[in-house]
Amino acid sequence: MKAFLPFVLMASLLAACGEHPSEVPPVRAAAPMVGAVPYADLAFNPEREAPATVLGKNETRLAAEASARILAIAVDSGDSVKAGQVLVRLDARDAELALARAEAGLAQSDARLAQAEAQAARARSLKEKNFISAEAVTLRETELAAARADVQSARANRDSARRAVEKCIVTAPFNGIVRSRSAQVGELAAPGTPLLTLADTSDLHVVAQVQARDADGLAAAGKVEFDAAGRVLALQPLRISGAINREARTVEARYRFAGTAPAPGTEGRLTWRDPRPHLAADYILRRNGRYGVFVLDGDTARFRELPQVQEGRPAAADFPPGLQIVTRGRHALQDGMKVILAQPAGGK
């Protein structure tokens, strides 16, 4: 208690003189010091890639169209074929017999038509001389019309039988490579029986599944390449699908080779450089459930949100080149906080 007596006495004297003790000023936190760098010095264009495969525009499973025994298969897996080349021969004897019957039926119909035309012409001539009645002429005209219809039906039967013979020879619909052989010589093929799988080599495409978030950058990329085990080939754009795969969140991208294409089925990577400027993931922070960066607005730190950001990945940012991005001291900042810019600016 004795230690406090001087203080009490002093306070009493001040009170007697009409003065009051001064209040202790509140402690104000010092503004944090930060470092900042212009966006132009931080921005970069990241390289992107996606798994890709060389595929033909068509990959067709050739199947039998007739019920017949397989006589010969002229190719095997891995063989290259030309459009129109004979690949498989089926036993066509039954089809050829049916064609012979159809051709005989057409000949008979042609003969009956010729007879009907002659009888109709004679009837018209006799009618002009009033030797027969109009009803008799009408009868001959009707017989002529029926004969013409018979000829059309017989011709259709002949064409159908001829087509059945043609179905016994399976040819390549395009230039390609035999991917697989499903049938064997001596087997009985029925309509729809798989014979061969043929991959088109006349128009090869690179098909890639690209993450949906990278689709815009790919579409705007100036150069896209296909890298297959170190062999890099230039590509020309075809299309990027607007439909997103719901499970994988990817879109399909198709490209055509600018020069010689590798074999169908070649696996590789689609590579490109995103033309949109990006910020490295190190500078991106999370505040109130949003991702963004801190920028300087005079002596105030402002949080600028970045859309479609994934944690740990660079993010596209449409900022002015001169915008000051806080690189040092950013982790302790909150939006609207006053800061002191360290000199010289720079560094993390």
d(CA 137, CA 121): 9
- For residue 324, is it within any domain? yes
- Tell me the average pLDDT across 212-228: 92
- Tell me the average pLDDT across 80-107: 96
State residue 127's pLDDT score.
86
d(CA 91, CA 84): 19
State whether 218 and 248 are in the same domain: yes
- For residue 40, is it within any domain? yes
- For residue 196, is it within any domain? yes
Angle between helices 134-166 and 93-128 (to 10 degrees): 160
Q: Which two tokens stand for residue 339?
A: 């800061």
Residue percentage of the chain with pLDDT more than 70 = 90
State whether 187 and 238 are in the same domain: no
- Tell me the average pLDDT across 121-139: 89
State residue 12's pLDDT score.
47
State residue 58's pLDDT score.
86
- For residue 286, is it within any domain? yes
322: helix, coil or strand? coil
State residue 23's pLDDT score.
47
State whether 141 and 105 are in the same domain: yes
- For residue 10, is it within any domain? no
d(CA 81, CA 87): 8
Residue 197 has pLDDT above 90, yes or no: yes
Span 282-306, pLDDT tens digits? 999 999 989 999 999 999 999 999 9
Confidence of residue 344 (pLDDT cuts 50, 70, 90): low
Number of domains in the chain: 4
Assign residue 144 the CATH number of its domain. 1.10.287
d(CA 259, CA 206): 13
State whether 284 and 305 are in the same domain: yes
56: helix, coil or strand? strand
Assign residue 308 the CATH number of its domain. 2.40.420.20
Compute the half-sphere exposure of residue 141: CA atoms within 13 Å on the CB side of its CA. Answer: 9
H/E stretch holding 268: strand 267-273
Residue percentage of the chain with pLDDT more than 90 = 73
Residue 46 has pLDDT above 70, yes or no: yes
State whether 268 and 284 are in the same domain: no
- For residue 157, is it within any domain? yes
Least confident of 63-67, 107-111, 145-149, 341-345: 341-345
State whether 158 and 247 are in the same domain: no
106: helix, coil or strand? helix
Residue 3 has pLDDT above 90, yes or no: no
Confidence of residue 29 (pLDDT cuts 50, 70, 90): low
Domain extent for 123: 93-166
Q: Which two tokens stand for residue 279?
A: 């910020």
Q: Which residues contact 226 (CB under 8 A, 6 or more apart)?
A: 52, 54, 206, 232, 233, 235, 255, 257, 268, 269, 270, 271
Residue 4 has pLDDT above 60, yes or no: no
State residue 263's pLDDT score.
85
Burial of 53 (0-12, 13-18, 19+ CB in 10 A): middle
Compute the half-sphere exposure of residue 110: CA atoms within 13 Å on the CB side of its CA. Answer: 8
State residue 9's pLDDT score.
41
- Tell me the average pLDDT across 205-209: 94
Which has the closest alpha carbon to 200: 172, 222, 180, 227?
A: 172
Least confident of 15-19, 107-111, 310-314: 15-19
d(CA 53, CA 209): 9
Q: Which two tokens stand for residue 346?
A: 């720079």
Confidence of residue 187 (pLDDT cuts 50, 70, 90): very high
Q: Which residues contact 204 (CB under 8 A, 6 or more apart)?
A: 54, 55, 56, 57, 256, 257, 261, 262, 264
- Tell me the average pLDDT across 90-98: 95
State whether 261 and 249 are in the same domain: yes
Per DSSP, 192 falls in state T
State residue 6's pLDDT score.
45
- For residue 268, is it within any domain? yes
Show which of 200, 218, 246 is a domain's final residue.
200
Assign residue 172 the CATH number of its domain. 2.40.50.100
Show which of 273, 293, 327 is a domain's final residue.
273
Which has the closest alpha carbon to 323: 347, 294, 344?
A: 294
State residue 147's pLDDT score.
95
Q: Which two tokens stand for residue 238?
A: 């075809």
Q: Which two tokens stand for residue 212?
A: 């949906």
- For residue 114, is it within any domain? yes
d(CA 154, CA 105): 6
State whether 132 and 143 are in the same domain: yes
Per DSSP, 299 falls in state T
- Tell me the average pLDDT across 217-231: 93
State residue 15's pLDDT score.
45
Residue 26 has pLDDT above 80, yes or no: no
Residue 100 has pLDDT above 80, yes or no: yes
Q: What letters, b where the CB count within 10 A reaches 16 and e where it falls short, cover 142-175?
A: ebbeebeebbeebbebbeebeebbebbebebebb
